Structure 1
Amino acid sequence: MRIPQLLIEATFAKLAISTEPAQLEITQPPAEITIEQPKPELEISVNRPRLTIDQSQAWAEVNLKHVFRLIEDAAKEGYETWLDYVATVSMQGDELMKIENGGDVIAEQAQANSESPPLEFNIGFVPSPFSVKIDYEPGKLIMDWKIHQPLIDVKPHPPIIHYKQGAVHIDVAQRNSLHIDVVT
């Protein structure tokens, strides 16, 4: 006797999986930068040095005077001579007033009036030392800098991002099946 047999044929399901990778693209545009450096400003002020030389006393000592000073000196000398003369005449008048006291007053006065005083001279330096006056004021140089900070302008740009989403595709490549046969 023959026993019937079951013949089972099964196929499993198969999946087909395909993927599309995601794509990410990032570009960064460069920033726009402008830099401007203003020029520094320089201010210079100068106080000039000053040299003063006064030779008027030295020129006066060698008798090279200005006409106004010559006139002034002559007037002063004339006034002093006049005062000396008045003093001498007054003294001689007092002596003549007292002629009765004795003595030869007229002869003495005649001799004194006829003789000039003795001349005195010693070593002299013309012009005298330190008769030229020198004065010096040093100068100054003043520098004032005005420095300006640089002007920097930065304009950044955001990054440009392109993104393509990836995908996973799942399909059934083979369906499952079960096939049963009875074989006798």
Structure 2
Amino acid sequence: MKLASLEIRSTRAQTAQQTERGTLRIKQHQAGMQINHKKDVIEINTTYPKLSIDQTEAFADANLKSGLRLAKEFYASASSQVSEHIAKKRQEGDQMMRIEHGYGGAFSRIAKQNSTKSQPQLHVVNMPRSVDQTKIHFQPSQISFNVPRHVADITINRREPDIHMPKWQTDTYLRQKNSISFQAVGASINRGL
């Protein structure tokens, strides 16, 4: 008689996982920006140049004088000539008074002085006599700038991004159940006994 052996068969349980991953989506909206700036006005001020030419003395050299100036010069010349004439006559009177003291010939000397005249002299001159007689004054123009500075007004509207992140999901399930089976193998029984 042969004894039977017991055969045990078992399978292990197996688990499995299924994962779903979501896609991250980010959408950024453009920020709103406003810039306000006042127009700048540039002011430019200009003064005109001035040129003045005074030719009064140059014309006076050519005897082109105003009536008032001619009168003043004539008065000054006449005053000096009168003073010279008075001084001369006084000197002649002093010479005539000396006749009493025995100085003779005073009349002949006075007559000789009054009869001799100086020889006229010829002078060649330019008109005007000098370039310094014409006075030139120039005042250049002036330019001034006024530029006001305005600061720009900048406003920025910030917009948050839209972020969409779905949840990740993992499912765990039993793919194979565990099992056990028993079987008697190799048993022979003599039933005839």
> Which residue among 160, 165, 168 is the counterpart of 1:166?
168
User: Helix, strand or coil for the counterpart of 2:25?
Assistant: strand
The aligned amino acid for 2:177 is R
Q: Match of 2:29, SS? A: coil
Distance 2:14 2:152 in 1: 71
Higher CA-based Rg? 2
Worse overlay, 115-124 or 42-51: 42-51
Partner of 2:24: 24
Contact between 1:41 and 1:147, CA under 8 Å: does it hold in 2? Answer: no
Relative to 1, partners in 2 of residues 1:98 and 1:176: Cα closer, same or farther, differing over 3 Å? same
Q: Deviations over 1:116-137 (max 9, x none)?
A: 5432322222220222233445
Change (3 A) 1:96 1:104: closer
Q: Is the 8 A contact 2:21 2:169 kept in 1?
A: yes
1:120-167 deviations in Å (ceiling 9; x for gaps): 322222220222233445555555766677665544433321111111
Matched, 1:73 2:73: yes
Q: Decide whether the 8 Å contact of 1:23 with 1:165 is kept in 2.
A: no
Letter in 1 for 2:26: I
Greater mean deviation of Cα atoms: 32-41 or 66-75? 32-41
Moved more, 6-15 or 165-174: 6-15
Offset of 1:16 from its aligned partner? 5.0
TM (normalized to structure 1)?
0.71
In the aligned structure 2, how far is the partner of 1:58 from the partner of 1:17?
A: 120
Distance 1:111 1:10 in 2: 180
Residue aligned with 1:98, SS = helix
Partner of 2:105: 103
Deviation at 1:2, TM superposition (A): 8.3
The Cα RMSD (Å) is 3.8
Q: Call closer, same or farther: CA 1:114–1:173 in 2, change over 3 Å.
A: same
Question: How many residues matched?
Answer: 183
Larger deviation: 158-167 or 5-14?
5-14
- 1:79-107 CA distance string (max 9 Å, x none): 011101111211122222223432260x5
Which amino acid letter does the alignment assign opposite residue 121 of structure 1? L
